[in-house]
Amino acid sequence: MRSKRPRQIPVTDHAVLRWIERHGFVDVEAIRLQIFHETREALRSGASKITLNGTEYRIENGVVVTLIDKRKACGTLKWPCKK
């Protein structure tokens, strides 16, 4: 979940995720369950990765550890900094 960001911003990815979950009204557990349903067969078979609908799920020791978007049409979301 690490992303390229300016080093001077002392906010962890964990803090950002919790903010999204608690203030952005995103159900993180529902997303976790969705990822599990999408990767269940790969997890059971011991796969190290699976690609579904343009998303590559990377698996280590039976745990989905990251996702990589393989679609070329997707870009990075740019959020304006508001003060």
The predicted structure's pLDDT at residue 25:
81
Task: Supply the pLDDT for residue 45.
Answer: 97
pLDDT per 10-residue tile (average), the chain, 83 residues? 68 90 87 95 97 94 94 64 56
Nearest to 41 by CA among 31, 51, 55: 51
78 occurs within a structural domain: no
Cβ atoms within 10 Å, residue 17 = 14
Instruction: Report if residue 3 sits inside a domain.
Output: no
Q: Which domain holds residue 26?
A: 13-69
Tell me the sheet residues that pair with 66.
58
The token duo for 16 is: 């950002």
Tell the residue number behind the tokens 């745990």, with chain if given. 63
pLDDT recorded at residue 39: 97
Total domains, the chain: 1
